[in-house]
């Protein structure tokens, strides 16, 4: 396993047994106030996401970790970097509402960014988010990512939604397309 411990957190590679806990988090409407249409309604979507992470770990040596409270084992969410379209590391995190504001995304994100750069330094680290999700943008900025794009969010049912792309370097055309598709 390529897990890790960060003081009060345990980071585990996901298994299919984690899909139920991932679904509890991803189906919580309070986590989707920035993108209500993104809320997971079907548990199969969570299982598919976990399968994607497992494949990412096998293929790339890094993907999302399941973030657990080290004392209780409770799943707090997920965070990590995974390869998107074989051209960038996508930094992502989603944590249970009751643990927001504790710096978990920043701490786990820093470890993920460090590992991504060690595994494939040729790929940029990118965070793709909505402009009104200021907390997520602050995390990405703390991790050294800089805004590279601000524009319409393709496919979002809210025509006023603005997508931000932050990265650790300039993006080439393929990377830009992957980040904004």
Complete DSSP assignment for 57-75: HHHHS--EEEEEETTT--E
Confidence of residue 8 (pLDDT cuts 50, 70, 90): very high
Beta-strand runs (E) in 85-130? 88-95, 125-130
Q: How much is the pLDDT for 27?
A: 94
Q: Averaged over 118-147, what is the pLDDT?
A: 96
Q: How much is the pLDDT for 68?
A: 97
| Contact (Cβ atoms closer than 8 angstroms) between residue 46 and residue 26 | yes
Q: pTM of the full predicted structure? A: 0.93
- Cβ neighbours of 181 (radius 10 Å): 10
Q: How much is the pLDDT for 157?
A: 85
* Tens of pLDDT, residues 24-39: 999 998 987 777 777 8
Three-class secondary structure of residue 85 per DSSP = coil
| Contact (Cβ atoms closer than 8 angstroms) between residue 45 and residue 105 | no
Q: Strand 9-12: give its sheet, edge to edge.
A: 4-6, 9-12, 64-69, 75-84, 88-95, 125-130, 162-167, 146-152
Rounded to whole angstroms, the Cα distance separating 161 from 132 reads 8
| pLDDT of residue 7 exceeding 90 | no
The maximal CA–CA distance of the chain, rounded, in angstroms, is 45
């Amino acid at each position: 396993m390529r897990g890790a411990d960060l003081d009060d957190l345990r980071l585990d590679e996901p298994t299919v047994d984690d899909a139920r806990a991932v679904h509890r988090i991803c189906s919580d409407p309070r986590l989707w106030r920035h993108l209500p249409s993104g809320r997971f309604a079907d548990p199969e979507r969570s299982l598919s996401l976990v399968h994607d992470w497992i494949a990412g770990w096998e293929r790339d040596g890094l993907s999302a970790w399941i973030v657990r409270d080290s004392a209780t084992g409770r799943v707090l969410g997920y965070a990590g970097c995974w390869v998107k379209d074989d051209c960038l590391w996508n930094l992502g995190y989603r944590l249970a509402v009751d643990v927001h504001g504790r710096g978990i995304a920043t701490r786990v994100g820093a470890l993920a960014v460090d590992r991504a750069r060690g595994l494939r330094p040729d790929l940029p680290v990118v965070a793709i988010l909505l402009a009104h999700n200021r907390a997520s943008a602050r995390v990405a900025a703390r991790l050294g990512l800089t805004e590279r794009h601000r524009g319409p969010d393709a496919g979002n049912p809210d025509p006023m939604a603005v997508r931000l792309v932050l990265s650790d370097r300039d993006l080439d055309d393929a990377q830009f397309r992957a980040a904004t598709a």
